[in-house]
Amino acid sequence: MDGQGRGGMRQKPERERQAAALLEQANGERKAEAVQRAGSVQFMRGDADGTKEGDYKRDDWQRPGRLWLNGVVIMAGAALLSKVIGVFQKIPLQNLAGDRVFGIYNAVYPFYQLAAVLATAGLPTAVSLLIAERLRKGDNPEGVRRTLYAALLLLGVTGILAFGWMWASAEQVSRWIGDSETASAIRTVSVALLLVPFVAALRGYAQGLGRMPLSAASQITEQMIRVAVMLYVLAISGAAGWADASIAAGVMSGSAVGAIGALLILAAFSWRERRRGQLACIPGALRAEMKRLAAIALPVALGAVVVPVLGVVDAFTVPRLLRDGGLSESAAMAMFGIYSRAQPLVQLVVMVAGAAAAALVPGLALARMRGAYGQLRLQLTLAERAAWAIGAAASIGLVLLAEPINVMLYTDAKGTTVFALVGCTALAGSVNAVNAPVLQGIGSVRTPAVLLLIAALMKGVLNAMLVPLYGAEGAAVAGIAALSAVALLGTAALRRAAAASGATARRGGRRPAERESGRGGERGQVERRSESVDAKLGGRRPAERRRPALNRAAAGTGFALAFMAAALIIAERALSAALGGLLPPRAAAAALALTGVAVGACAFGAAALRSGAVSARELRALPGGGVLAARLRRWRLIPPADGEE
């Protein structure tokens, strides 16, 4: 036994050398791929500047990993900024135009999103993938142009069909919504569907060629123009005395004008690329390329369509059910606007949670591919715990600060109860936003779409049951119930998918990868030796050590939430007593809300770290977490890990 123990201890340096060799091999493969892609890109430029095939600038490609990371950061930052702009543009819309216009916007825009997703979702990704694949293989420029032209033709057709469907069905959709005056806004926003598909194709073309800043600039420009048009319409409509329906239609025109701005930026780049030659006419080539694009884009579109479906369910049920309950069309739409007040903040919380989860997906996929089951298990556990903790903290904060936030953002306290109830959906929304990309990262691609479609069906049924009885509060409770049920189902599906992928150890058996290959292969042996050594050093099996750690983390999270709630209540009461009518109502509400957010975030973060909700060892397992863990350890915000002094 002693010899075996010493042999196990001697395996640790060997394990580290093998892991280092695997990492070096993976880095070498990525570097070779980037260099090959660089040569292919320069091949595309060869006939323009006279360089030979395969030439590239060494200074530009000597750090391919850094360039790839910069491209990802640029795209992620642009997407995040674009979504933030889109979320917060709704606040001045309500302040300047009122609840009814706000309600019309929130009822019509999900329908436009649904049509746009059906027309364009997945095509930019498909275009960028096919172009990048051609460049890696050293394909000629004609193949790249064929992919672009096939995408433009396919998206042009789908855009025209989506525009025709939305324009022709405007009257019927307005009756489904329950407000006949929404038809003009539906027709106005449908014009954008003639332009958005071409923007999507050119954006995918730019991404495929590695022009990430260009794609990012087009996204941000589109959103900025939309906001500028909205503010201009709101400024002139007040002086001209426009009706609510006309104001909503004018605001919706910003989608088309923004698409024109993005199209001009992308078209200018594509026109410069046009000097490389004309596309040869090959019978059937464009048709085959369109089939390839559709095959790649269709699964993505089915997954993306569920997001606007939830908004469409509310738009088609809540205003009509409120009107059937005795309200007039204008009053029902105004109440729908009040019901939608908390949605921008919930979307912001969900967006942050989804972005954080998306950052873990490459690491999860790489750990699964390499067979690093310990790392995969740790990252899955952290993602799941973080989703529940962040979502719960956001929900508690929105509930306790509902009134001051409502007054700060929307000038009055109407619908504060509904605001607090809708704020509760931040918990389930955060969990769903994390579960979806993590499930995709470990190979379960269809499950998120199925779960969100279940949520849409449950939301529709519960709206029909609860809105006639409790009004807008019933719709908010329906959202809590539907999203919470799907969050629990998603968590269970994530654990099953993790077990199937080998991330969860099973008693009395081996992981799937080990059963397939008999002994599990070299990478599986490295992972098993790692767990064997760790088990001997710790004196217990890994599963036995994880249970106390998870219990400690759950207890720490519960303590942090309770501490945050107590700190929020004390801070709000103390500040309310200190202000004592010294400030106007909206300024006082802003002081309470902003102070409460700062106090709650600091209290939750400090309590979660100090109580062991996340340990130093877990932080070090995250990308860049080693530096953060060391800094927090010096500041004594986290306790030492087991075995540390």
The pLDDT tens digits of the residues spanning 496-522 come to 887 776 655 444 444 444 444 444 444
d(CA 158, CA 194): 9
Give the chain's count of helices (H) and strands (E): 28, 0
Name the token pair of 429.
């929304």
Contact 179, 243 (CB under 8 A): no
The continuous run of DSSP H or E covering 544 comes out as helix 542-579
Q: Which range (10-14, 322-326, 558-562, 565-569) has the least confidence?
A: 10-14
Contact 604, 591 (CB under 8 A): no
pLDDT tens for 178-217 read 888 899 999 999 999 999 888 888 887 777 777 778 878 8
Name the token pair of 181.
């005056």
571 compared with 156, residue with greater pLDDT: 571
CA distances to 133, 207, 466, 503, 525 from 144, in Å: 10, 12, 54, 39, 43
Residues in the chain: 645
Q: Which range (107-111, 117-121, 586-590) has the least confidence?
A: 117-121
pLDDT tens for 226-261 read 999 999 999 998 788 899 889 999 999 999 999 999
Contact 173, 312 (CB under 8 A): no
Contact 542, 531 (CB under 8 A): yes
How big is the chain by its Cα radius of gyration, in Å?
A: 27
Half-sphere exposure of 413 (CA within 13 A, CB side): 10
d(CA 64, CA 32): 9
pLDDT for 201 equals 82
pLDDT tens for 417-468 read 999 999 999 999 888 888 877 787 677 777 887 888 898 999 999 999 999 9
Please provide the average confidence, as pLDDT, over all residues in the chain.
75
pLDDT for 5 equals 45
Contact 297, 64 (CB under 8 A): no
Residue at token pair 């002086």: 239
pLDDT for 414 equals 92
Contact 592, 575 (CB under 8 A): yes
pLDDT band (50, 70, 90) for residue 555: confident
pLDDT tens for 117-158 read 777 766 776 777 777 777 766 666 667 777 878 888 888 888
d(CA 182, CA 315): 11
One-letter identity of residue 520: G
Cα 450 to chain centroid, rounded = 17
Calculate what percentage of the chain has a pLDDT beyond 90: 27
One-letter identity of residue 102: F
- Residue among 185, 302, 322 at smallest CA distance from 249: 185
Contact 614, 553 (CB under 8 A): yes
**35 pLDDT exceeds 70?**
no
Q: Which long-range contacts (CB under 8 A, 24 or more apart) does 278-285 make?
A: 279/142, 279/145, 279/146, 279/149, 280/142, 282/146, 285/146
pLDDT for 392 equals 93
pLDDT for 145 equals 75
177 compared with 614, residue with greater pLDDT: 177
- pTM, to two decimals: 0.74
